[in-house]
Every structure is written in C-alpha cells, then in structure tokens.
Amino acid sequence: MERVKVGEVFHFFGKIGVAAIRLTDGALAVGDTIQIQGPTTNLTQRVETMQIEHAAVTRADAGQEVGVKVSEHVRERDLVFKVLPA
C-alpha cells in the first residue's frame, strides 16, 4: 500500500466525530482513502464528507483546514496520509 502525507489533525470534535485536519503537504478530495496514524491511532477509511467553515466541499488543497467525519477517535498531531490506488 503506497501512501503520501497530506497533513495532520489539529483538533478532534468527539461529540460529532469530526477530525479537523490542516492540509500541509497535499490535496484531499471526497472519495479518497485516508490513513490517520499516531502513537495510539491507526485508522484507514474513505472520505465521505468534508467541510471548510461548515460548508460542504468536494476538494481542498494544501494550506487549507478541513473537517472530516471519522469512524474512530483520533488525536491532535496524528498524521494524515492519502492512500494511493495500486
């Protein structure tokens, strides 16, 4: 499985299960498969919804901050990778 770093988690909203991700190294789009990894985190899932400032978007580029619904608890400073199709 090949992957490329796109950013990191800077906040987690536990009640709604949303990771706030700062895109530092690449773009992200709805439909991409991401992997979030940290000392106690290892989550792989598809990006189903993504928002910027509470507005739904389908794509975001490096330098932007997005909210992504996640299926598990993630932590600040966890790294976010985009899984590249084989």
Q: What's the pLDDT score for residue 86?
A: 78
The pLDDT of residue 85:
84
**Residue 1's pLDDT is what?**
78
Q: Let me know: does 75 contact 9? Beta carbons within 8 Å.
A: yes
- 20-78 pLDDT, tens digit per residue, is 999 999 999 999 999 999 999 999 999 999 999 999 999 999 999 999 999 999 999 99
pLDDT of residue 8: 98
Q: Tell me the residue ranges of DSSP E strands in the chain.
A: 3-13, 18-23, 28-29, 33-37, 42-46, 50-52, 55-56, 59-60, 65-69, 79-83
Q: What is the pTM of this model?
A: 0.94
The alpha carbon torsion through 67, 72, 75, 80 (nearest 10 deg) reads -60
